[in-house]
Amino acid sequence: MTPIPHETTHASRTAGISALLKTAFINALIALVLFSLMVGIRTEAGSDGQLTYWTRFGDLASLVAAVFGGSILIELLRQWIGSTGTEKLVPPAVKSGMSFVGRYLAPALLIFTLLVPVIFYNQRYILDLAILVLTYVMLGWGLNVVVGLAGLLDLGYVAFYAVGAYSYALLATNFGWSFWVCLPLAGILAAFWGVLLGFPVLRLRGDYLAIVTLAFGEIIRLVIINWQELTGGPNGVSSIPRPSFFGIPLDNSDSGLAARLGIEYSPTHRIVFLFYLILALALLTNWVTIRLRRLPIGRAWEALREDEVACRALGINTTTTKLTAFATGAMFGGFAGAFFATRQGFISPESFTFQESALVLAIVVLGGMGSQLGVALAALAMIGGFELFRSLETYRMLVFGMAMVLIMIWRPRGLIGHRAPTVYLTKAQAISSDLVKEGHG
Amino acid sequence: MDYFAQQLINGLVLGSIYGLIAIGYTMVYGIVGMINFAHGDVFMIGGFVALITFVLLISTGLTAIPVILLVVLLVSMAITALYGWTIERIAYRPLRHSFRLAPMLSAIGMSFVLTNYSQVAQGARVKPIPPFITGGYTLHESQDGFVIQLSNIQIMVVVTTIVLLAIFTWLVSRTRLGRDMRACEQDQTMAALLGVNVDRTISMTFVIGAALAAVAGLMYLLYYGLVDFFMGFVAGIKAFTAAVLGGIGSLPGAMLGGLAIGLIETFWSAYFSVEYKDVAAFSILIVVLIFMPTGLLGRPEVEKV
């Protein structure tokens, strides 16, 4: 590399700064027009139904200023990081360190998760949050079968979650069936609905498939809202029975688990039990997925994700491949739904909106589509992030949407985008993303 | 029969609104090959901008309704078009050569951003406006007292739609921009080699789609007399259904599909149940995609290997 004369750098730098300011100014101007009416003027319906308005020019000014400053900052960062095409050299020590972390991260996380109820026994809030995170980890792993392995974009995954939840809630409240009888039933019913959805969408690909699954999810939700005799409509189903320890109730009665073991009763027992229950369910999902990936059907899913036409040419039955993917994913969604119902004790259609589907999908995408560890970490990050924004309830979804756009721009293949083939001859080589055309299924 | 005729009128008016939104979907799909999931929310933004402009104009003491309507129309089209441009620039252009699911997911994120942005900026409550355009014609009165009404606002919606469609058809078939758009739709690389500015053409597609959605938002506001931050989601899916029904990529198809969806929804509400009207619309989407994925006027998609 030859040294560059001093004057040239100086000249290009001043030109860079003026261009920088110009871009920032244009961006700020665009922001001013965009926000002028929507933010600068606030309308509200008065008590007499008449619309009133007031101005918020301060907010408008600060937003425009933020855009101005932000675009300068982004431009500077871009120059500092350099063009995206440059290859970064990673020192071998860091590389081996990374692979060390990669190898031991999953077992370490698992051991930590197992110990969570012991460490945080007295912190109910953390236990509840951990249960919530694990529920989403399970949902993410379930959806990962459909989206990550089979490459079928499913925007209506929450429908199966709802089917599972309502199956358990209705069977338990109407017939008094126990959780352990209903759990498999909820999974089977959800899988059945998965196949039902799978049939019509077999011929669809990519975006069409996404929209149809979205419509399916909405249909399920609308039917739940409107079929009041069965589901209670918008009021939902309440007083859903709590789970028992294989028939032994976890309460303060004489026949309860605490009394039988001869220990003092505490409401935390139930929380800890729920924690291990969802952990077991999530690990079951993970284990089944990992095992299925090594079976012909799992290989077929991955082949389908990479290239459907090639799949057909090689004689893979795409019908059964897609249907099994939908059914398997839906079944885990159903399990998670049944758990959700028994944990909450109350369910209503409010819990099964499109936002929920999008959240689970975002977890799978952020996790790198297909990476089990990535999905778990993404669920932790997403739900944890949601908790951080809990006080800013109205801004939560706004930030979530922005995060989704930014992740897609920054790392379309998720945090762990590395994909090693599951079958190889002599050496596992990472597949370049140029070679796969994912998402056409 | 009278009841049927009245529902027919209502359905056509609703269908015009859906058709205007559907054109945005179909145009973008035709050129970029992605579903602009945020388009329904662009329609919602258009409605909000129109509402705010209305409130501002009325507070200045302006009373001439045609002037107010014209100003509102122009302002909401301009600002919403800028929204469309910005969305494309931020969320879709960086992903144009990414893998296929990426733009879709980015669009979903953008849809959340827009929905919650207007909730944060304008509050969650429904915003009503007083009726501006009143009056109408009684077309027919039967013996049992049922009256077929054709209100002025209904006439206005349909006339505006027809005028816009005429302008739009001229734009696509006769102007330089329209030719560029059709060229990009067929082959972007070849179009670029022949001197078409592909980026600019795609941007313009989003701008035009957003402007039409803004008109739809204004019509919705005038017809129903209210807007809320969540109206874009369902309207967007229905308009997308219309675009698919008409054959995605086909402009007359989008309008035809819009009318069909409007009629089906209205008749379903009138003769079966209001509660399940959205279920009906979504079921049509599924049924259409299973039995005629190319829609009414679409071309079959050929996959090249």
Model ipTM value: 0.85
- Residue A96: inside a domain: no
Question: Residue B22: enclosing H or E segment and its boundaries?
Answer: helix B2-32
Contacts of A348 (CB under 8 A, 6+ apart): A232, A234, A235, A236, A237
Inter-chain residue contact A439 with B56, CB threshold 8 Å: no
Per the CB < 8 A criterion, the answer to whether B112 and A404 are in contact is yes
Distance from CA of A44 to the nearest CA of B (A): 7
- For A96-135, what is each residue's pLDDT tens digit? 776 777 778 888 888 888 888 888 878 888 888 999 999 9
Domain stops at, among A70, A89, A108: A89
Of the candidates B203, B211, B204, B205, the one whose C-alpha atom is nearest the C-alpha of residue B164 is B211
Q: In sequence order, what are the beta bridge partners of A347?
A: A237
Q: What is the 3-state secondary structure (H, E, C) of A343-354?
A: HHCCECHHHHCH
The answer, yes or no, to whether residue B216 has pLDDT greater than 90, is yes
Annotated domain spans of chain B = 13-232
Say yes or no: A325 and A381 in one domain: yes
Q: Is the Cβ of A228 closer than 8 Å to some Cβ of chain B?
A: no
Residue A428 domain-assigned (yes or no):
no
- Determine the Cα–Cα distance for residues A182 and A338; give it in Å rounded to an integer: 8
In the stretch 15-44 of chain A, residues with CB closer than 8 A to chain B read 30, 33-34, 36-39, 41-44
pLDDT at A4: 45
- pLDDT, residue A87, reads 52
For residues A268 and A139, membership in a common domain is answered with yes
Q: Which of A55-59, A209-213, A436-440 has the highest mean pLDDT?
A: A55-59
Q: Are residues A262 and A400 in the same domain?
A: yes
- What pairing do the DSSP bridges indicate for beta strands B147-151 and B226-227? unpaired
Q: What is chain B's mean pLDDT, rounded?
A: 88
A400 and A287 in a common domain? yes
- The model's pLDDT over A27-55, given as tens digits with 9 standing for 90+, comes to 999 999 899 888 888 888 877 767 788 88
Structure tokens at A320: 């059964």
Run of H or E including B200: helix B198-224
| Residues A85, A196 within the same domain | no
Asked if A28 and A145 sit in the same domain, the reply is no
For residue A263, give the DSSP letter: -
Same domain, yes or no, for A263 and A344?
A: yes
Residue (of B162, B9, B132) closest to B70 by Cα position: B132
Tell me phi and psi for residue A41, to 5 degrees.
-120, 130
Q: How far apart are CA B226 and CA B212, in angstroms?
A: 19
**Cα dihedral sign, B267-B273-B278-B279:** negative
B197: CB partners within 8 A, 6+ apart: B180
A-B C-beta contacts closer than 8 Å: 187
- A127: its two tokens: 């236990």
d(C-alpha B258, C-alpha B165), whole Å: 13
Residues B109, B243: contact at Cβ < 8 Å?
no
CB A352 within 8 A of CB A224: yes
Could you tell me the pLDDT band of residue A434, with boundaries at 50, 70 and 90? very low
Angle between helices A158-175 and A318-344 (to 10 degrees): 50
User: Element (H or E) spanning A42, and its range?
Assistant: strand A41-45
Of A200, A216, A226, the CB nearest to B276: A226
CB < 8 Å to A50, chain B: 130
* A423: closest CA of chain B, how far (Å): 23
CA-nearest residue to A392 within chain B is B120
Rounded distance, CA B279 to CA B283, Å?
Answer: 6
| pLDDT range class, residue A1, cuts 50, 70, 90 | very low
Structural domains of chain A, count: 2
pLDDT band at A242 (very low <50, low <70, confident <90, very high): confident
Question: A65 and A194: one domain?
Answer: no
Both A33 and A146 in one domain: the answer is no
Nearest CA in chain A to B277: A222
**Listed range (A88-97, A325-334, A363-372, B36-45) with the worst mean pLDDT:** A88-97
Query: Range of A44's domain?
Result: 6-89
CATH code of the domain in which A132 resides = 1.10.3470
Chain A, residues 403-422, CB within 8 A of chain B, namely 403-405, 408-409, 412-413
| Phi and psi at residue B175, to the nearest 5° | -95, 170
Strand intervals (E) in B79-224: 127-128, 136-141, 147-151
| Whole-angstrom distance, CA of residue B3 vs CA of residue A436 | 56
Number of Cβ within 10 Å of residue A332's Cβ equals: 33
Q: d(Cα A309, Cα A304) in Å, to the nearest integer?
A: 8
3-class state of residue B248 by DSSP: coil
